Structure 1
Amino acid sequence: MIVLRYVRRVSMERLDRRAFLRRVLGVAGVSALMAACAGGGGATPTPTQAPAATPTAAPAPTPTSAATPTAAAAATPTAAATVSREPIRIGILLTLSGPASPNGEANQRGLRLAFEEAGQAIAGRPFELTIEDSAGQPDQALAKARQLIEQRRVHLLLGITLSNEAAALRDYLHQNQIPTIVTNAALQALTRDPKMRSPYIFRISYANGQYDAPVADYAYNKLGYKRMMGFAADYAAGKEELAAFKARFTKAGGTWVDEIYSPMGTQDFGPYLQRIQQQAGNIDAVFQFHGLSSDAIRLVVQYEEFGLKDQIPLIASGATTDDSILPEMGDAAVGLVSGTVYTASIDRPENKKFVETFRQKYNRVPGQVDYLGYLGGLVARAAIEEVKGNVEDKQALIQAIKGVRIQGPAGEFHIHPESQGPIHNIYICRVAKRGDGTFYNEILETIPNVDDLSF
């Protein structure tokens, strides 16, 4: 468990990460917490509880965020309501160890930045973040959620990395009426299935296929691909992503020739690439999904080495062309077309500020999952501001989340009133290389206001 309490003014521009932790946690807690958070590039953190400072109330600071979150008028507490001066308790549950840890670590980077930008208080109340590691295991996710809710008594839960974790947590969160903002798990049914939806659960990431279906339209109508096959990782997300692309492509008039799946952790894609090569002359392109993973990196590199890149174009999922892993794929990624809800090359003042702030803090370019963590933090802050800090009023808080509208790094964001899922702009991109040798996603087309019920 990691506990961060934001109770005093800290200038984030002037403190490096170690100094910031020393100011917030006290000298005794720095070593343990730094060890717990070591390495954003794959190191496995061992969460430990850090000593916390005594919370004190302070006037609300002027936000310094790259975006200004606001919430539409919803269930605002009455003027007579008494707002507690105790810290707002926010739980963050992410996969921070195991194979999926890069996703959890990226989400955590974005979440921390969003809350650090709030200063020492939100709506005049100090707040604390308690971060727990689910290790990518549904049973552990449920156990950690119980700790956050029953022991830490959090007012709000954010995070949830994997779809199987979301499925395991849904009933518990619903029964305990915990306002929850999902920042990564993309299980379609969570927001698309009326039987699985909960009035307490919101998703700001996306449903599997939400950004792939528009790419299918683009492949058929703009790139002229009429016959395609699919290649995906053999797990729930891979199957849902591929099915969404296939459904939209065939609806547009295309022919689906074949589909193949590889287990996660595949080192040698040769046998699968050979099957694709056998379709040369019979297909125009291949749609691919292997998530934000080392599998995706290996596949793209081996696809070029196998001689297929110039023979049968690869249409990638947005996770594969995430800005954060483009350097590892190098020239093999150049030319890949994909769809995404975020890329660092979005030309908006809010995004330029976000990228610069993120780069200064983490010495890296933000990727889609970093952004989604950041967006989740902005949504939480906006909702808390809307209820004037009265997070004990759960009904007011969930109405505030439902009404949030944010002009953020990727454009306007809001929640679908029926599904409680996200409404995003979808960016169709092509990977390109700059003169200085760096790689980026060149935006070809922007499709506005794509919701999770649109495919």
Structure 2
Amino acid sequence: MIKVFKSIALLSMSAFVVTIGVACADETDEAANDNEQSQAADEGDITIGVVGPMTGGFADYGEKAEKGVQLALDEIDHTLDGQEINVVIEDSQADAEQLITRLDNLRQRDDVDVVIGPSTGDEGMAAASWAQDNEDILIMPGYSAPEDMTMREASPNLIRAGWTGSQTIFHFGEYVVNELGYERIAMVGQDYDYPWDQAAGFKRGFFENGGEEVHTIWHPTDTFDFNSIMNELQSISDDYDAVLLNSGGADAIAFFESWEQFGMDEYYPQILGGTNVADIPILEEVSDSFEGVYSSMHYSESLDHEENVQFRENYADMHGEEADGIALQGYDTMRVILHAFEETSDDTSDVDELREIILDMEVEDSPRGSFTFDEHGQAVQDIYIKRVELVDGQLQNEVIETEEDVSQFGPYEDYEEEYMAQPGNDRDFPADSAAEYFEDLAEYFGQDYIDQLEENDGWE
């Protein structure tokens, strides 16, 4: 395996050009932006396209990934073996149709070598479809996490140095049963692909280790009035042990504001969070009563190894804000690409060669910890179960348990074919009750698998 060390930071120095393309209603302004970006891209030797939401309610997901990319390039003074690196940024507005247009712009107008993005779940499957239609260009998602991007809809030119919605939460479902002792959960989640994956991963770990029911309440994105949902949660509180919020962004902040207004701590002893619920931008907006929230992720700001400490210091110096998992993703993705470029035979757009190099990497100096890639192009990495603590007057995530080298298949590494033979995750699959869940599981995994779970009292 190729091992990635800190030598990238010692590469030669030169100037860096970043140009930003933001979709405008005014066609004249947009055309001017297009011409400006094309000219900037032509001036460089290597051109990286970055696409994601740079405006609107999901702007954090695109902007922070792009800031992570900038930091990785700043560490090498924006040059590679004497070649200047240009970055062209496109605003997808978290819209799948806009994403396709922006990807086409990057490919046809800017002739980029590689695309980084998108960064939201809603855009993920659109990006996977685009990759299948454009197999001669490498695309590496920024923060987008639908599992089928690197599973049922995988294509050779899409490689993800990030995570999948299920990968980060399989073992959290197990933890909630075995360590917290909860058997019945009420889950509130945004109604689209990424939260469906989160729900599916949680249910698998939860049911296969003794959980009984996950009652799901779906709501549209950009929901800021949770009164009716709070009323429903109050009405069913006698039947459920805890609430899991499967959300993110402004919706999650609004949920917790409503939670406090309704005095929900009197009804439920515990809040559990999906992967994005305890992210730093949310911790900065909620009250100290958020302390005690459990969640799981492939990164934690509290990791105390040298690479993370340095990453956080450098990011704060460059951008004037705290780094989080989104920024980490842009940073790591750009560094993987840079190392692949170093190893190529002069052609930075040769997808087959880039894929071969990346899949053979062992990244040992990431702020999140070491990671590798599976044969489908998805990162294999440690997953951290975390609890929000109040430290020196600030909320932060403390790691309480680590699951090492978790693949996108989680505990199903020996059952990849059976896992992918199941329907893709959606709002109604897997089922909400253990009884229905195991009926479906028997159809795809067989009774022997279920017998083994019973014999071992869950996962080994």
Normalised by the shorter chain, which TM-score bucket? Answer: 0.7 to 0.9
> Are 1:440 and 2:396 matched, yes or no?
yes
Q: Deviations over 1:277-304 (max 9, x none)?
A: 223332211221112x111011123223
Distance in structure 2 (CA, Å) of the matches to 1:274 and 1:136: 30
Give the match's secondary structure for 1:443. strand
Matches within 5 A, 1:307-318: 307-309=263-265, 311-312=267-268, 313-318=270-275
Moved more, 272-281 or 439-448: 272-281
Contact 2:292–2:387 (8 Å) recurs in 1: yes
What is the match of residue 405 of structure 2?
Answer: 449
What is the match of residue 83 of structure 2?
Answer: 125
What is the match of residue 396 of structure 1?
Answer: 353
Superposition CA RMSD, Å: 2.5
Q: Deviations over 1:22-79 (max 9, x none)?
A: x755xxx9xxx69979xxxxxxxx9773674995xxxxxxxxxxxxxxxxxxxxxxxx
Contact 1:92–1:157 (8 Å) recurs in 2: yes
What is the match of residue 209 of structure 1?
Answer: 166
Q: Deviations over 1:170-189 (max 9, x none)?
A: 34333332111112111221
Contact 1:107–1:183 (8 Å) recurs in 2: yes
Change (3 A) 1:423 1:310: farther
Number of paired residues? 388
Contact 2:12–2:80 (8 Å) recurs in 1: no
Distance in structure 1 (CA, Å) of the matches to 2:232 and 2:170: 24
Give the drift of 1:339: 0.3
Instruction: Please tell me the residue identity of whatever aligns with 1:175.
Output: D
What is the match of residue 53 of structure 2?
Answer: 95
Give the match's secondary structure for 2:386. strand
Distance in structure 2 (CA, Å) of the matches to 1:137 and 1:337: 30
Distance in structure 1 (CA, Å) of the matches to 2:21 and 2:129: 34
Change (3 A) 1:263 1:120: closer
Distance in structure 1 (CA, Å) of the matches to 2:402 and 2:123: 32
Distance in structure 1 (CA, Å) of the matches to 2:124 and 2:191: 19
Contact 1:382–1:404 (8 Å) recurs in 2: no
Q: Deviations over 1:77-129 (max 9, x none)?
A: xxxxxxxxx71222111111222211111111111111221224224432211
Change (3 A) 1:212 1:380: same
Q: Which one of the candidate residues 86, 96, 105 is aligned to 1:147?
A: 105
> 1 or 2, which has the higher helix percentage?
2
Distance in structure 2 (CA, Å) of the matches to 1:47 and 1:362: 24
Q: Deviations over 1:127-153 (max 9, x none)?
A: 211111112222221122112112221
Instruction: Please tell me the residue identity of whatever aligns with 1:179.
Output: L
Contact 1:47–1:133 (8 Å) recurs in 2: no
Give the drift of 1:390: 2.8
Contact 2:16–2:86 (8 Å) recurs in 1: no
> Are 1:237 and 2:241 matched, yes or no?
no
Give the drift of 1:388: 5.3
What is the match of residue 338 of structure 2?
Answer: 381
Contact 2:21–2:88 (8 Å) recurs in 1: no
Matches within 5 A, 1:175-194: 175-176=133-134, 177-193=136-152
**TM-score, normalising length: structure 2:** 0.78
Q: Tell me, which stretches of 5 or more residues in structure 2 are unaligned?
A: 1-10, 24-31, 412-460
Identity %: 26
Instruction: Please tell me the residue identity of whatever aligns with 1:364.
Output: E
Give the match's secondary structure for 1:201. coil
Give the drift of 1:318: 2.2
Change (3 A) 1:228 1:399: same
Instruction: Please tell me the residue identity of whatever aligns with 2:13.
Output: R
**TM-score, normalising length: structure 1:** 0.79
Change (3 A) 1:200 1:52: closer
What is the match of residue 229 of structure 2?
Answer: 272
Instruction: Please tell me the residue identity of whatever aligns with 2:146.
Output: L
> Are 1:165 and 2:123 matched, yes or no?
yes
> Are 1:324 and 2:328 matched, yes or no?
no
Q: Tell me, which stretches of 5 or more residues in structure 1 are unaligned?
A: 1-6, 11-22, 38-45, 56-85
